[in-house]
Amino acid sequence: MYKSDTLNLHSIKRMMWVPPLGIGYISSFLKLHGYNPKILDCVSSPDGSIDDLGKYIRFGLSPDKVKEYFKKEQPEVVGISCNFTSFSMDALEIAAIAKQANKDTIVIMGGAHATMDYLNIIQDPNVDMVIRGEGEYTLLEFLNNPDRLDIESTVIKNNGKIIENNPRPVIENLDLLPFPDYESINMDFYLGGEKKGFAEKLLNQKIGFMVSSRGCPYNCIFCSTCKVFKKFRGRSPINIAKELELLINKYKVKEILFMDDCFIASKKRVEDFCQELLKRKIKIRWSVPPGFNVWLADKELLNTMAKSGLFRVNFPIETGSPATLHFIRKPVNLKRANEIIKECNDLGIWTTGNFLIGFPYETMEDIELTAKYIYNSELDAVTVLICQPQIGSDLIEIYQKEGLLTHTPERGSSVLTTKYDTKYFKAKELNRIRSEIMVNFNNLRLKSFFTPQGFYRHIFKKINSPKKFKYFLGKVLRAFYRYNIFRILIKKGDG
């Protein structure tokens, strides 16, 4: 059993942190055009710590350490990524620290939350500019022309006035962008550090992260992606394969997780990508944690993906309630989803279902339908999360209309431990229900492993080689390790 006083940044290396790829793209793009930016990643910094602040826990650099860094570096411009509504106050705190270190520093905010809530963000006295949407060309244009006030996609504060410029067209050809600036990212942290001994090798399987597309053609009520990135655009299979080869050859990555919002917007693009991997003989395990469209998957496509290295499918089914599916505008056919799950099991592909509870009008009956669907499915694993009102999503207007929001975002609220009430549930009830569904499913699945049919479907077909078995064992150890750390953090976070 882990004790809270043993929890440190070395421990959380194994918690599947995602490197700051967005900032990495900005950095490499600026370097390509003659600038020399530096990335301050507060999470992965070796000087970071874990601080219990009562209602929430802070990872990484303390405010004093951040201020010390700014005083030493004296940057002329500080760009801050602000992606999530629940963490917007942390981003604004960084902005204040930058100004305290040097009042003449130009502070720019970007990211999904800043894009959608720019009118509030720009009101903050420590923010000079907001960049909406994709930041590469907009930031470059500003750095080249710092006195211009008409740069597209910027919202600028100038002599007490706010200038809101027109949006910039999206980057149609993503292949024109260089790969993220991995050299300026603490890859040792994100890849788990050095492997020493058998247990460490199992725990620290080197996992890389990539984004092969931007945008999403759908319009789910809880998501702001379609408004931030406007339209779906995919990188070419050749471009993706080259980045894969970089991560494999330079960083010895054994597995890739694609963090795309919509991986299968085009079946042909995915088929071409798989064929490119096979043609180049790239040996890599890959999956898509955010999930991919159940309604576009079929056995033929799954078989091709499996041959190219796909080992796990995450299905964003979201709910087992037809009424909730209609409410969130998710075109999922629950019966078809079950059929695809069975087809994946036949192909020896691990299956995970992503589900959400805690929508503002969701009743206990709706949640029970979701729980029933989860328990009766043939999924190997499930992830149950709690809906969060993100600025820019259509959902937040409902929260506001129903009086479910305070005047500021709930700091530290997350999909794991929410602080938002709904029409029918208090936040603590939702946290308890989420935990109960997860525990119940895990107990049911564990019991099924000891039946001949369950063992064959969920275990044997997926570990029927020494390499697969070793990988499976490492996944089990990693999951157990992360579970214990999350349990500590949730307990501390609840106060």
How far CA 208 is from CA of 245, 321, 459, in Å, comes to 11, 35, 25
List pLDDT tens digits, range 431-446. Answer: 999 999 999 999 999 8
Reported pTM = 0.86
User: 3-state SS string over 151-170?
Assistant: CCCEEEEECCEEEECCCCCC
More confident residue, 87 or 428: 428
For the beta carbon of residue 58, count every other beta carbon within 10 angstroms: 17
Residues of the chain with CATH 3.40.50: 21-164
Is the distance from CB of 292 to CB of 313 less than 8 angstroms? Answer: yes
The arrangement of secondary structure in 21-164, i.e. its CATH architecture, is 3-Layer(aba) Sandwich (3.40)
The neighbouring-strand residues paired with 355 are 318, 384
Identify the residue whose tokens are 């292949």.
175
Topology at the third CATH level for domain 312-462? Transcription Regulator spoIIAA (3.30.750)
**What distance in Å separates the CA atoms of residue 228 and residue 224, rounded to the nearest whole number?**
6
All residues at 6 or more sequence positions from 376 whose CB lies less than 8 Å from its CB, including other chains: none
Q: What is the mean pLDDT of residues 370-391?
A: 93
More confident residue, 329 or 471: 329
List pLDDT tens digits, range 234-271. Answer: 999 999 999 999 999 999 998 999 999 889 888 899 99
DSSP code, position 75: -
**What distance in Å separates the CA atoms of residue 157 and residue 136, rounded to the nearest whole number?**
20
> Which among 330, 300, 344 has a CA at the least distance from the CA of 216?
330
What b/e sequence results for 457-469 when a residue is b if at least 16 CB atoms lie within 10 Å of its CB, and e otherwise? bbeebbbeeeeee
All residues at 6 or more sequence positions from 482 whose CB lies less than 8 Å from its CB, including other chains: 14, 15, 16
With pLDDT > 90 as the criterion, what percentage of the chain qualifies? 59
Q: Which run of H or of E encompasses 310?
A: none
Walk across the sheet containing 350-357 and list its strands.
312-318, 350-357, 381-386
Q: What is the mean pLDDT of residues 56-62?
A: 81
Please report the pLDDT score of residue 484 as a whole number: 54
**What distance in Å separates the CA atoms of residue 3 and residue 448, rounded to the nearest whole number?**
31
Which of 121-125, 194-198, 346-350, 419-423 has the lowest average pLDDT?
A: 194-198
How wide is the angle at C-alpha 94 spanned by C-alphas 88 and 97, nearest 5°? 145
Please report the pLDDT score of residue 202 as a whole number: 52
Which of 73-77, 82-86, 100-104, 254-258 has the lowest average pLDDT?
A: 82-86
For the chain, count helices (H), then strands (E).
19, 15
All residues at 6 or more sequence positions from 65 whose CB lies less than 8 Å from its CB, including other chains: 45, 47, 48
> Which among 474, 324, 441 has a CA at the least distance from the CA of 375?
441
What ranges in 358-465 are assigned the alpha helix state H? 364-376, 395-401, 427-448, 452-458
> Which among 436, 461, 419 has a CA at the least distance from the CA of 306?
461
Does residue 304 carry a pLDDT above 90? yes
Does residue 423 carry a pLDDT above 90? yes
With pLDDT > 70 as the criterion, what percentage of the chain qualifies? 88
Q: What is the mean pLDDT of residues 67-89?
A: 91
Residues of the chain with CATH 3.30.750.200: 312-462
* 252, two tokens: 């010895």
How wide is the angle at C-alpha 309 spanned by C-alphas 256 and 415, nearest 5°? 45
> Which among 74, 72, 71, 66 has a CA at the least distance from the CA of 92?
66
The rounded mean pLDDT for the chain is 87
For the beta carbon of residue 420, count every other beta carbon within 10 angstroms: 22
For the beta carbon of residue 298, count every other beta carbon within 10 angstroms: 13
More confident residue, 193 or 470: 470
Please report the pLDDT score of residue 495 as a whole number: 37
List pLDDT tens digits, range 203-223. Answer: 556 889 999 999 888 888 888
Please report the pLDDT score of residue 475 as a whole number: 64
Q: 4 pLDDT band (50/70/90 cuts)?
A: very low
All residues at 6 or more sequence positions from 8 whose CB lies less than 8 Å from its CB, including other chains: 49, 50
Please report the pLDDT score of residue 160 as a whole number: 86
Q: What is the mean pLDDT of residues 364-390?
A: 94
